[in-house]
Amino acid sequence: MDDDALSDNRRLWDRWTEINAGSDFYDVASFRDGRRPIRLADYEREEIGPVEVKTLLHLQCHFGLDTLSWARLGARVTGADFSEAGIAMARELATEVDLPATFVIANLYDLPTALDGEFDIVYTSRGVLGWLPDLDGWARVAAHFVKPGGFFYITEIHPVAQVFEGEGVKPGELRLIYPYWSHQESLRFDVKGSYADPTASTDGLVEHGWNHSLGEMVTALIDAGLRIDFLHEFDFVEWPVEFLVDGGDGRWRLPPGTKGELPLFFSVKATKPLIG
Ligand SMILES: C[S@@+](CC[C@H](N)C(=O)[O-])C[C@H]1O[C@@H](n2cnc3c(N)ncnc32)[C@H](O)[C@@H]1O
């Protein structure tokens, strides 16, 4: 990965951690005081099943809200992220809510040199793949940490939803402008605020992103030695998107009355076969 792009993205995530941690979108206060003790979607809890006493590694864990939600459900959790600010906040939060958790700072591609062990579940979710230039390398890292007989799980925005203009468009206005398949050169944007607080100041910060197709992602997981158990597609995104409308349930969908359909989110579970 290009070092400049990596540093730009890390700088951005350090600042976004500060902004996001104080935002209504994440509402950390309700996680702390137990009003909203679990910040996970119902479908992912169902698809993953019981996690009690299982070891769970959360890749790209941000400041640990989802990681600690799994801990509240009984998993023995480890979270990893390249943002020092994110991991510092995750450790602080774990102490405050008195949950055991290990948090590791590392670029995703370097994680096998920073962390030992294999896990029953390797989990990653919501806004992760677009930061990664190399999907095959990502899949190898994910598979590396799955115990034989254990599984990898991802829930993420659908790559089809990533090809449309997301700024200055109206609900239902689908303007095809971005690549669907993996590309070498990053998509570079000047950042305005954070997805959790668009009004926050982020002057001078830039973002580098990469799109990847669904087929490339599934093939990368298979090539890394995992067996796909399911691939589910959903008709919503779990954060605001300008060409969608707010369903009032924490999900954004195509406007009512839209002709035709689009997949907007997906989940994949993939098992590492037992050897021998
Ligand atoms: C949208 S967050 C996903 C976390 C979770 N869905 C949430 O909302 O709390 C994306 C995370 O990817 C991390 N990230 C981006 N590029 C990375 C890289 N190369 N290595 C490790 N982490 C990375 C960022 O620091 C950020 O915490």
Q: Give the total number of structural domains in the chain.
A: 1
Residues 226-240 have pLDDT tens digits of: 999 999 999 999 999
Check pLDDT > 60 for residue 98. Answer: yes
Q: How far is the CA of 62 from the centre of ligand 1 (A)?
A: 5
Q: The pTM is what?
A: 0.97
The answer as to whether 221 is a domain residue is yes
The answer as to whether 66 is a domain residue is yes
The answer as to whether 30 is a domain residue is yes
Rounded Cα distance between 87 and 64, Å, is 7
The answer as to whether 78 is a domain residue is yes
Q: Find the domain containing 23 and state its range.
A: 3-271
For ligand 1, say whether the CB of 13 is within 6 Å of any of its atoms: yes
Question: Which residue from 16, 81, 207, 239 has its CB within 8 A of the most atoms of ligand 1, so it is best to mutate?
Answer: 81
pLDDT bin (cut points 50, 70, 90) of residue 67 is: very high
Q: Are 186 and 207 in contact (CB under 8 A)?
A: no
Check pLDDT > 90 for residue 78. Answer: yes
CATH at 210: 3.40.50.150
In which residue are the tokens 């605020």 written?
193
Rounded Cα distance between 115 and 112, Å, is 6
Residues 191-212 have pLDDT tens digits of: 999 999 999 999 999 999 999 9
- The rounded Cα 19 to chain-centroid distance in angstroms is 17
For ligand 1, say whether the CB of 67 is within 6 Å of any of its atoms: no
pLDDT bin (cut points 50, 70, 90) of residue 2 is: confident
Q: How far is the CA of 142 from the centre of ligand 1 (A)?
A: 14
Average pLDDT of the chain? 97
The answer as to whether 276 is a domain residue is no
Strand partners, 246: 252
For ligand 1, say whether the CB of 19 is within 6 Å of any of its atoms: no
For ligand 1, say whether the CB of 213 is within 6 Å of any of its atoms: no
Rounded Cα distance between 16 and 24, Å, is 14
Check pLDDT > 70 for residue 276. Answer: no
